[in-house]
Amino acid sequence: MRTVQRTADAGVLRDVLALGAAMVAVGASFGAVAVAAGIPVWATLTMSAVLYAGGAQFMAVGLVAAGSPLAAVLAGLLLNARHLPFGLALGNSLGPRLGHRLLGSHLLTDEATAFTLAQPDGVARRRAFWLAGTLLFVAWNAGTLVGVLAGGAVGDPAALGLDAAFPAGLIALLLPSLRDRDTRHAALGGAALAVVATPLLPAGLPVLLALAGPALIALRRRRTPTGGAGPTTVPAAGESATC
């Protein structure tokens, strides 16, 4: 049993480190962009450590540079509202104590959630969450520091294709879950809603709208009676009720 756990932990560690390398590069780009936009070094580093919001930080820097700090706050809250259902999905994977959950909520990201849900329920999920959450947090903040120090020498992660690393990693982690028919329908339905709504709604809302897919599946499961494979039939006279 211990050998299996060590193998699983080694696999998660390998995948997290690969994704963390891309996160360092993207974090470095954020640090350089923030300093170039006139954000003080201390504020840039504090934002990555205290807010730890990834893409929302890029958006916030752009809005602050444009003179709209209030819009930056509101847009950040909207974009990160998806973390509420993430927290509900993880449940007790953060730990049984309030302190664990408060700290875990700060480390909660799309990638950490995907790494966690890809593991079997129980101790394996808890170990995966803390491993992924901690390493990715360190990678992002280390990248921000590199970007602040390197300044304009850091390139655009989109030009290197690094912006595609995170969606690709998430898709790879979620592929095993798509074997379940209901999960597959929920994912495809939510993705379709998000794609259709993207040109029509502000950033962040299409992601929230995509939650309608899983919500409809959950509602259907609640309405479907359990405890049997289907409606029962009464055998006709002269027929046996057993096979």
**pLDDT (tens digit per residue) in 102-111:** 898 899 888 8
pLDDT classification of 233: cutoffs 50, 70, 90: very low
pLDDT above 50 for 73: yes
pLDDT classification of 139: cutoffs 50, 70, 90: very high
Closest CA to 16 of 165, 217, 183: 165
* Residues 229, 91: Cα–Cα separation, whole Å: 29
Closest CA to 140 of 43, 11, 33, 21: 21
Instruction: Look at residue 214 and give its three-state secondary structure.
Output: helix
Average pLDDT over residues 215-226: 61
Single-letter amino acid, residue 89 = A
Q: Which residue has the higher pLDDT, 196 or 47?
A: 47
pLDDT above 90 for 141: yes
Q: Which residues of 95-125 are buried (b: 16+ CB within 10 A; e: fewer)?
A: eeeeebbebbeebbbbbbbbbbbbbeeeebb
**CA-CA-CA-CA torsion for 221, 225, 230, 233, nearest 10 degrees?**
-160
